[in-house]
Chains A and B, each alone.
Chain A
Amino acid sequence: MTPEELRETVARQFGRSLHIRTLDTGSCAVCEQEIRLLAAPHYDLNRLGFFFTPAPRHADLLLVTGPMIRAFAPAARKTYEAMPGPKIVVATGACALGGVYPSDPFTHGTVEAVLPVDVWIPGCPPSPLALLHGLGVAVGRLAERVRDLPFTAPDHPERTRGDS
């Protein structure tokens, strides 16, 4: 299946009904709080057709937080394998993307070391809006925007202090 076909299949199958299984591989739990807020009335991810499920057998998407501590890697692997295909892995939070603990001896540093990640959502913690955007990207409903963002700002109007 070509990537475009895969994307189309994913959008068709999961676009309106997606079951998410969260996995904490050793985070500080603030990402989990933001994820939990998604179910609250203000953000309400159920209106978009996304649902949380505790059983990986019923899940389509694995939402992983935390820097993948070494002791957890076999359990993460088992959770991933217990999900039936097609499945999507989303890594979210600075820890999962390789920051915060890049060289800690007790962690792998990044989720990618153990699981094949499809979507990355940065943030520390990622706000619920960022998570909603990331989930929309994962199912092909929303477009990625970072590619076109340069993360540069125009110069300060006063150039009196050119110091850095």
Chain B
Amino acid sequence: MTPLVFLYTAAAAWVAAALVGLLTARLPAGLLACCVLSALGGAAAAAGGGWSLVYGDTPVVSPGGPTVVGGPLQLQATSLAGVFTTLLGVVAVAIACYAPRYHPPSQGTSLYLAAYNGALLACLAVLAAGGMVTFLVAWETMSLACYLLILRHLRAEPVARGAFWFLALSEAGFLLVVAAFVILSSKTGFTTLAGIAAHAGSVPGGWRAAAFLLALAGFGFKAGLVPLHVWLPEAHPVAPADGSAFLSGVVVKLGIYGITLFAFRLAPPAGTWPGLVTMGAGAVTAAIGILYAMAERDIKRFLAFSTIENAGIIVTAFGAAMIFHAYRLQALWAFLLIAGIYHVANHGCYKTLLFLEAGVTEHATGTRDMDRLGGLIHRLPRSAVIAFAGTLGIAALPPLNGFVSEWLIFQGLFQGFRTGSHLTGILIVLAAGTLGLTGGLAIYAFVRGFGIPYLGMPRTRPAAAASEKGQPIVGPGLLAVACVALAVGAPIVLAALARAVRTVTGVTLGPLLLPGKLTVIPAHADFSAFSPTYLAVFLVCALAVPGLIYLAGRPRARSVSVPVWDGGMVSFRPRMQYSSMTFSAPTRVTFDALYRPSVSVTRPSDDDPAGRSGPVHYETQVTPVFQRYLYRPLVRCLEWLADLVRPIQSGDVNLYLLYVFAVILLAYFLGAV
């Protein structure tokens, strides 16, 4: 039984879910039915992905033969795509458990659910695509479906703008991806991905490099590489929470899947410099992503920038893998590929979880602004625990999954000295250093991202009145369990990934990755070793031991409970707490060359600078450097070009007839020649 059977089941379930959603989601029962079908599809997709990790690549099939409109539908379930498919399935199940309690049954919801299930189907088609045309059609369908997703609450103005950024950049990326595919397929003469991969030798080195760069940029738009990331912070806040979760958890990963295809499977470019470029792009993306995240008050924009950071980390790992391949260090090549894909799976789990929890917070309190929240750990206790699990994961703290995958990536990068080239070694070390900076800033950012809304005292009345009644728990809870499972079961996951990567790289990494039952080593036994399972067990015990000592030797004296020491002040007000911007102030001051903050202060009158006669208004904004210095000039340039060409469109029918005549003459002459 090939994995394709599971994928067909998933596709059928999602088609059914889309139809059911479209027709009946106005009623609660219909909404529930749609979500159940979506969950079934997710389970089937997860099963299919997991099975294809073990099974290997299936052959390319063309269901329906060559008669499908636009070209043959070519499907192939590959091991490499298996991880991404599993992630897609798990995310779909989690969101399906979350959606009934998040969306009210209405007309808007039915259209939304139809678009969402269509997007799920399109993502599955991208991952299962065996041929170029199928891939591109599925990719474009996915972009359009996600555009509709983002437009759920169309009436507000920022929604239209966010969705427009998404669509515009998706289309720009699509053009580049089409160009890359066309180069490869025209040079090899095949349109199936397997065919291109098998005949990659007939693509000359220069064309390979061109195709790779086009693919890096094109898929980089989707993956969120800087400076192509601009749609992420615009689109994520305005989409509904599960839509944002889906975008960050799956769609961004599809961009990364595309990069993996061109970097490892289809026609890997020769030489060191493609790997260096990729690694550099990834490192810069990671650093810039987390730096911008530090300056955000809106929880969803903050999480969007964190997605950019993680995409950067993954792409850095892939770039380093390509460099090791260029130096014939195949074990490290495969190892970093595994590490990168593992990070994809981990990030998918905890980022989706965090976005879903952001949605819960938004529903419970009515605001996404961190500075209006506070003390939610008392009001939304179970959501807070789940969000904490996600925060631990994304901050890469042991024993959770983020720590394991980042450890693997760092261990791979630290072995850059094995390349033997000084320059490359230094560049790899620089990338590792940038990732280290990113990791530290990520912990800082997520202490802020969890501490300000959840801990402390509520800063506003809606935050104090938040309640957990009717909020979805099972969906995010499933993802939290997945995070823990990915961490504790890391050896199993890594074994499966090693098998998947073997189909792409041909390197058997089993004994070089998992020598003992539960230990992981980074491809070389003399470098380091680590056991995630033992670490998890050890940490739990280490936390339990002081507890047991305390219980056993409890002090005999009577204990008194007194209030928290607050400096002796007579009353402690919520406004005395850290705000999100003061907490991140040290970073913003250090990196102000990047943020270029603009400050405006307005006073009631210049004679009274202390503001005694009225309030003083202070506002600071981070300058959007990419929009202002990259995109706006580009758009202006395009507008200028369009203005140049406008005279052709004079509106005069006679002129248009002249054009027709001129073109016919030209065609005649060309045909004659």
Contact = CB atoms under 8 A, between A and B. Distances in A.
Interface of A: 55-57, 74-76, 78-79, 81-82, 85
A57 B565 contact: yes
A76 B569 CA distance: 10
A81 B563 CA distance: 9
Contacts of B569: 75
B568 interface: yes
Nearest to B566: A78
A137 to B, nearest CB: 25
B562 A74 contact: no
A74 B565 contact: no
Contacts of A81: 560, 562-563
Contacts of B557: 85
Contact of B570 (A55, A75, A85): A75
A74 B572 CA distance: 13
A75 B569 CA distance: 6
A154 to B, nearest CB: 49
Nearest to A79: B568
A57 B568 CA distance: 12
How many chain B residues sit at the interface, stated as a range, is under 10
Ordered nearest first, which 8 A-B pairs have the shortest CB separation?
A75-B568, A82-B565, A81-B562, A78-B568, A79-B568, A74-B570, A57-B565, A82-B562
A55 B568 contact: no
Contacts of A74: 568, 570
Interface of B: 557, 560, 562-563, 565-566, 568-570
A13 to B, nearest CB: 14
Contacts of A82: 562, 565
B556 to A, nearest CB: 13
B570 A56 contact: no
Nearest to B568: A75
Contacts of B570: 74-75
Per DSSP, chain B at the interface is loop
Nearest to A76: B568
7 contacts: A56-B565, A75-B568, A75-B569, A78-B565, A78-B568, A79-B568, A81-B563
Most chain B beta carbons < 10 A, residue from A55, A56, A82? A82
Nearest to B569: A75
Contacts of B568: 74-76, 78-79
A74 B571 CA distance: 10
Contacts of B560: 81
A57 B560 CA distance: 13
A85 B557 CA distance: 10
Given A78-B565, A82-B562, 11 more contacts: A56-B565, A57-B565, A74-B570, A75-B568, A75-B570, A76-B568, A78-B568, A79-B568, A81-B562, A81-B563, A85-B557
Contacts of B565: 55-57, 78, 82
Contacts of B566: 78
A74 B562 CA distance: 14
B368 to A, nearest CB: 37
Contacts of A78: 563, 565-566, 568
A129 to B, nearest CB: 30
A85 B568 CA distance: 18
Nearest to B567: A75
B654 to A, nearest CB: 90
A82 B566 CA distance: 9
Contacts of A56: 565
A55 B567 CA distance: 9
A30 B563 CA distance: 32
Nearest to A81: B562
B424 to A, nearest CB: 52
Contacts of A57: 565
A72 to B, nearest CB: 8
A76 B570 CA distance: 10
Contacts of A55: 565
A82 B563 CA distance: 8
B571 to A, nearest CB: 10
B567 to A, nearest CB: 8
B570 to A, nearest CB: 6
A55 to B, nearest CB: 7
A75 B563 CA distance: 12
Nearest to A56: B565
Nearest to B570: A74
Most chain B beta carbons < 10 A, residue from A55, A76, A78, A79? A78
A80 to B, nearest CB: 10
Nearest to A72: B568
A78 B567 CA distance: 9
A74 B560 CA distance: 18
Nearest to A23: B568
Nearest to B571: A74
Nearest to A78: B568
B236 to A, nearest CB: 42
A56 B563 CA distance: 13
A87 to B, nearest CB: 12
B572 to A, nearest CB: 11
A57 B563 CA distance: 12
A57 to B, nearest CB: 6
A79 B565 CA distance: 8
B467 to A, nearest CB: 32
A75 B557 CA distance: 26
Contacts of A75: 568-570
A76 B562 CA distance: 14
A21 to B, nearest CB: 11
A62 to B, nearest CB: 12
A78 B564 CA distance: 9
A85 B563 CA distance: 15
Nearest to A57: B565
A82 B569 CA distance: 13
A85 B558 CA distance: 11
A56 B566 CA distance: 11
A15 B69 CA distance: 92
A55 B566 CA distance: 10
A74 B569 CA distance: 8
A139 to B, nearest CB: 20
A79 B562 CA distance: 11
A78 B562 CA distance: 9
Nearest to B557: A85
Contacts of B563: 78, 81
A28 to B, nearest CB: 20
B128 to A, nearest CB: 61
Most chain A beta carbons < 10 A, residue from B563, B565, B568? B568
B661 to A, nearest CB: 92
Nearest to A71: B570
A73 to B, nearest CB: 10
Contacts of B562: 81-82
A76 B568 CA distance: 7
